[in-house]
A and B are shown apart, each in its own frame.
Chain A
Amino acid sequence: MIYNIPYLVVVGLILIGLFAVMFKRNLIKIVIGVTLIESGVNLFLITLGFRKDGVAPIFTGLPEGVNYPADMALPVPQALTLTSIVIGVAVLALMLSMIIHLYRHHNTLDVSKIRRLKE
């Protein structure tokens, strides 16, 4: 049971993020929603690589008496997560810079007041 808690957190994070993206009106809160989804997905990836009593997957610094690769945590999900975090930073920066421009144009962060592109 205790090992399932991360998965529940993952689902919770993604749902909260989706809720924020869909129903919040403040642009910053929408971006927070996106980052919440991203954290959820990253946590999911990391959790997949978990191995009970596993050591860090460092090939050269293997402690005595540890079997390679059976006792290591899986390295691939960690690599994927790192990549995903880097991409996430780029997306976040781009979104925030667009929000700065939108704020300059409209003097508000409220989505309902910004929306001009309709039909």
Chain B
Amino acid sequence: MSILDTFVAHAPALIVAIPLLGAFLVQLVGRLHEKAKVVFALLTILLTNCFLYLLTYDVFTNGIRTYIFGNADLTLPVVRILFEVDAMSIYMALISTTLILVAFIFSWVYMKDNTGLDKFYTLMLLLTAGMLGMVFTGDIFNFFVFLEITGISSAALVAFWVHKAEAVEAGFKYILISAIGALFVLFAIALLYGQYDALNIAVLAQSIQFTFLDKIALVILLVSLAMKAGLFPMHMWLPDSYSRAPAPVTIGLVAATLASFYGVLRVIFSLYGGIYSGTDLALLSTLTSTKFMGSLLIGLALLAILVGVIMALRQTDLKRLIAFAAVAEIGYMFLGIGTWMAAKTVHVDPDGIATAISILPYGNLALQGGIFHLFNDAFDIGLLFLVAGVIFFVTKERSLDNLSGLARHMKATTIFFIIGLCAVAGLPPLNGFASKLLLYESTFQLNPILGIVAIVGSILLLAVFVKVFYAAFMGPDLIKTNVHKEPRSMIIAMGILAAVIIIIGLFPDLFLTHFVEPATDALLNFSSYTNAVLIGGV
């Protein structure tokens, strides 16, 4: 066994352990030199990335990986925790680590005048460890623990600028939402544990009967995770915390929000996957509730899109405006899931007897669109937040009323803003277009109104950001003279995101077949997820 094989074998544990260890080592390393902290944090996240690439290769060639902490064999007492890494987990982990890497590069200059930077990097690395744990774990209580780690560290990061009253207020709001959400997740876990005497997602998924208590647990899990993912009407914390946090933290928060969205996906497709993605005729009785839930999600998603863009239109605070655009983008992702659920239909023979249940092809297309959009949302909204961060760093202004003529001084930022603007509004040839086209096509087949609302939402997003472009970048010069060029580290950070956006925008089919489709298949293939634990000898 070569050293590389050993690394691959232990990669799932190491990917979570390295940021966790690094988080506390930063405190020691920070004593050496001021810049040592950020260099060390960058190295930690780069190392994590290296292991993640190894694991990515392994999972995409050999299928689902399980990693056991504790007893490998099932003799009593069974004391163990299990990580289960499939293509969807990898997909999420790649998004999170890339965003955190960009955030660290961006913070090189952005945070340099702050005190307590060692704590900043500690919290950022803890946030990374929490998110990666959430997406890798195969144990539902472990998921709760990582959810809390993510919640606590991101709330502390939102309130990092404690000298600003609004930042502390936003942080308090966030911790309140996240603590209550996580406690209800724990309550639902207890409900499931009480019935099935198991905490492993695969084991639970296998034995779930969809009793009344299961339905209660499902509703509690979905509501609290959707609240943490910022679905309308539970999005009220999102604009506050996104807009008041320092720009590198906002990027981390985008990733943390998506990790909660991953929780929603796991609950629907793995924990309750037997009911939702099953096509057995015995599931006929659950069909109505599935369709109802799909319609509910679609309704909330459409409202999220409309409310998000309309609220964004009337904002004057740049970061708050982008945060409302993020609410709309989250709506698009839920639209994909909702359409998938509503696309489940029963086939009836002429005598009125049900012969088969199937998910119509456009349902899977919508799900693919939603999952693709998850990636695009992270990168487009992330890029726009970085641009807002640069503007705040250079001018110390956050209100659009006081900004103008920035294009004269910050050419690179202007170009990156245009890229982000086009991507978020879904203009070809950028990545947002590919995923939104999938969503338009598939939702149109379910009901034309859905497709129309989705398109209108995109057009309004374009209007929102064109308005920002004219207000901030065009027009006469600012009266203030201290506008200077953007630092190079910020250009690199934005450049990474912009490069990914352009490359994926130019070759969406490659990305679709190599990442999105495996991730979607991993979600839809319920039996392979459970069998990896139950039959794979673990």
Query: Chain B's nearest CB lies how many Å from the CB of A75?
Result: 7
**Alpha-carbon gap, A76 to B194, bound state (A):** 11
Residue in chain B with minimal CB distance to A27: B172
The secondary-structure label for the interface of chain A is helix
Instruction: Give the residues from 87 to 103 in chain A that come closer than 8 angstroms, CB to CB, to chain B.
Output: 87, 90-91, 94-95, 98-99, 101-102
Residue A51, interface by CB 8 Å: no
A44-B190, A69-B76, A69-B77 in contact; A101/B176 too (CB < 8 A)?
A: no
Contacts of A14 in B (CB 8 A): 187
CB of B162 within 8 A of CB of A37, answer no
9-residue interface stretch from B19-27, B178-186, B280-288, B354-362:
B178-186
Residue in chain B with minimal CB distance to A80: B141
Residue B199, interface by CB 8 Å: yes
Residue B319, interface by CB 8 Å: no
**Alpha-carbon gap, A42 to B244, bound state (A):** 33
Residue B168, interface by CB 8 Å: yes
CB of B176 within 8 A of CB of A30, answer yes
**Alpha-carbon gap, A102 to B163, bound state (A):** 10
The secondary-structure label for the interface of chain B is helix
Contact string, B146-185, partner A, CB cutoff 8 A, digits 1/0? 0010011001100100100110111111011001100110
Contacts of A41 in B (CB 8 A): 183-184, 186-187, 190
CB of B180 within 8 A of CB of A21, answer yes
CB of A34 within 8 A of CB of B169, answer no
Contacts of B168 in A (CB 8 A): 98, 101-102, 105
CB of B172 within 8 A of CB of A102, answer yes
CB of B187 within 8 A of CB of A21, answer no
CB of A115 within 8 A of CB of B148, answer no
Contacts of B166 in A (CB 8 A): 116-117
A48-B194, A94-B152 in contact; A21/B169 too (CB < 8 A)?
A: no
CB of A87 within 8 A of CB of B148, answer yes
A side interface size, CB within 8 A? 35
Query: Chain A's nearest CB lies how many Å from the CB of B214?
Result: 15
CB of B152 within 8 A of CB of A91, answer yes
CB of B141 within 8 A of CB of A98, answer no
CB of B155 within 8 A of CB of A94, answer yes
CB of A102 within 8 A of CB of B169, answer yes
Contact string, A40-61, partner B, CB cutoff 8 A, digits 1/0? 0100110010000000000100
Instruction: Give the residues from 20 to 58 in chain B that come closer than 8 angstroms, CB to CB, to chain A.
Output: none
Contacts of B190 in A (CB 8 A): 41, 44-45, 48, 77, 80
CB of A95 within 8 A of CB of B169, answer no
CB of A34 within 8 A of CB of B176, answer yes
Contact string, B180-222, partner A, CB cutoff 8 A, digits 1/0? 1001101100100110000100000000000000000000000
Contacts of B76 in A (CB 8 A): 69
CB of B175 within 8 A of CB of A98, answer yes
Q: Which 10 A-B pairs have the closest CB atoms?
A: A105-B165, A48-B194, A101-B168, A98-B172, A117-B240, A87-B148, A91-B179, A41-B187, A45-B190, A101-B162
- Some 26 contacts from A to B, beta carbons below 8 A apart, are A34-B179, A34-B180, A34-B183, A38-B183, A41-B186, A45-B186, A48-B190, A48-B193, A69-B77, A75-B77, A76-B193, A76-B199, A80-B141, A83-B141, A83-B145, A90-B148, A91-B175, A94-B155, A95-B176, A98-B159, A98-B168, A98-B171, A99-B172, A102-B172, A114-B165, A117-B244
